Amino acid sequence: MSITRRSALGLIAATGAASLAMPNVARGATGRVVVIGGGFGGATAAKYLKLRSPGLAVTLIEPAEMFYTCPFSNLYLGGLWDFAAIGQGYDLLRSDYGVEIVHDRAETVDTAARTLRLGGGAELGYDALVMSPGIDMRWDALAGYGEAAAEKAPHAWKAGPQTQLLRAQLEAMPDGGTFVMVAPDNPFRCPPGPYERASLVANYFKAHKPASKVLILDAKDAFSKQARFTDGWSTLYGDMIEWVSRSNDGKVVRVDADALEVETEFGQRIRADVLNVIPPQRAGLIADRAGLTNESGWVPVNPATFEAVAAPGVFVIGDATIAAPMPKSGFAANAQGKVVAANIVAMLEGREPPAPAWLNTCYSLVGPEYGISVVGVYRLIDGAIAEVPGSGGVSPASGGPEFRAREAANTFGWYHAITNDIWGTVW
């Protein structure tokens, strides 16, 4: 199965209509907003800034010309989608919304002077800065696992060449092999992500390499939507997937990428045929360089505005932030991008920021026709982000196959809708 998108023509027509239909365009705000990072948070913020206030000059800094989404990269790994299907471009943000796109990397930010320097040498000033740099790996956190080791035992936790490398390894693996995944302790990008990946790799094995195994070595004793995942695993894959908790010696303390071998806390050595190491993570490095992170490696923010505690006027969103109870998800980054765009426009127009509310749904596919989800609605309560009581919840245990199929359809629908919302992609 492979997915292609509609022609460029259909694409332009559809979004053109969308922008004509935009209501109540604000006149007031002028000034320059720079957005670092064209992923889920940053591209959303850039678009919604221009939507709310076309008079603003909005510059989006993103090194990649094509952004490959982590969401649905597990479908690519499982052989269900082409790699091209998860690629998102910036043409529509440029042509339909008037966002200036600069394909470069922000190297340093001077939050006092309100300037930043790009890799190519250019220096930019700003009235407001949005940063959504995502994550970087903590290369010093797991013995033996550095950037060179990731070329043999990929993390594939940023979609791109790492994801393609892991797919190639899965394809080359002989039947009867073992896919070993090393899963990190909290906090990390996309809490259900490792378990969705295990599911879709098992789905691929079941069809193509049925004697193979998926072994998850976990630094945790519990994981997101655990009961739903494990139900789904036994229904769809029998005992193909084995999960080893931290208390059962699942925590990996050393990686030997050349030998494709890992060592656990209590000294077991486990060899893999394909080894996927998801290491501990931190906010994208630029957040550190701008002096916005605390000792946790993540960026504390003012929950009402998402301004960095260390630098008011710098708005940080997405995975890089400490936004708990909101998870590190693309859905949450998108919601935060919209709230921050409204805040910045209000700020530049001298108004009070509107009262924020955020929604998050983490969908996961246990199989192509077996979806599960967890929903949360968040508001500011006494100055902190809090989940609205009774607002959400996880898929019920009792859902039958039709229910799971409907949730799977919703998962695809979500991906189509969010990539359309952010990058204007038409499916």
Q: What does the binding site for ligand FAD look like in residue numbers (CB under 6 A)? A: 36-42, 61-64, 67, 70-71, 73-74, 105-106, 132-134, 157, 189-190, 193, 197, 284, 286, 318-320, 328-331, 333, 362-363
**Cα dist. 229→198, 365, 387 in Å?**
10, 9, 23
279 lies in the site for another protein, by CB under 8 A: no
Counting contacts by CB under 8 A, is residue 386 touching another protein?
yes
- Cis ω on the peptide bond leading into residue 353 (within 30° of 0)? no
> What's the CA gap between 160 and 134, in Å, rounded?
14
Per CB under 8 A, does 295 bind another protein? yes
CA 161 – CA 183 distance, rounded (Å): 20
Q: What is the largest CA-CA distance in the chain?
A: 65
Q: Write the CA distances from 224 to 306, 354, 373, integer angstroms.
A: 25, 32, 10
Nearer to ligand FAD, 42 or 187 (CB): 42
For the bound state, the minimum distance from the C-beta of residue 408 to ligand FAD, rounded and expressed in Å, comes to 12
DSSP annotation of 419 reads: H
239 binds another protein (CB under 8 A): no
Residue 237 or residue 298: which is nearer to another protein going by CB?
298
- CB of 199 vs another protein, minimal distance in Å: 16
Q: Which of 44, 162, 203, 329 binds another protein (CB under 8 A)?
A: 329
Least Å from the CB of residue 92 to ligand FAD = 16
170-176 long-range CB contacts below 8 Å, 24 or more apart? 170/77, 170/201, 170/204, 170/274, 171/79, 173/209, 173/212, 173/273, 173/274, 174/209, 174/273, 175/208, 175/209, 175/210, 175/211, 175/212, 176/209, 176/211, 176/212
Whether 88 and 66 have beta carbons less than 8 Å apart is answered as: yes
d(CA 416, CA 400): 25
Q: Does residue 378 belong to the site contacting another protein (CB under 8 A)? A: yes
Instruction: Give the list of residues 6+ apart from residue 367 with CB closer than 8 angstroms, or none.
Output: 199, 200, 203, 232, 236, 408
Selection from another protein, ligand FAD, none that 265 binds (CB < 5 to 8 A by kind) is another protein
Contact between 362 and another protein per CB under 8 A: yes
Q: Which does 386 bind (CB under 5 to 8 A by kind): ligand FAD, another protein, none?
A: another protein
Give the x/- contact pattern for another protein in 193-222, rule: CB under 8 A: ---------------------------xxx
- Least gap, CB of 225 to another protein (angstroms): 7
Instruction: Give the separation between CA 253 and CA 219, rounded to whole angstroms.
Output: 9
Rounded Cα–Cα distance for residues 381 and 147 (Å): 41
Q: Applying CB under 8 A, does 161 fall inside the site for another protein?
A: no
Neighbours of 236 (CB within 10 A): 19
Choose the one of ligand FAD, another protein, none that binds residue 161, judging by a C-beta under 5 to 8 angstroms depending on kind.
none
Rule CB under 8 A: say whether 175 interacts with another protein: no
Q: Which of residues 250 and 424 has its CB atom nearest to another protein in the complex?
A: 250
d(CA 281, CA 122): 29
Tell me if 140 contacts another protein by CB under 8 A. no
Q: Give which of another protein, ligand FAD, none residue 36 binds (C-beta under 5 to 8 Å, depending on kind).
A: ligand FAD
The residues binding another protein (CB under 8 A) are: 185-187, 191-192, 220-227, 230, 245, 247, 249, 265-267, 294-296, 298, 322, 324-327, 329, 360, 362, 374-376, 378, 382-384, 386-387, 392-394, 397
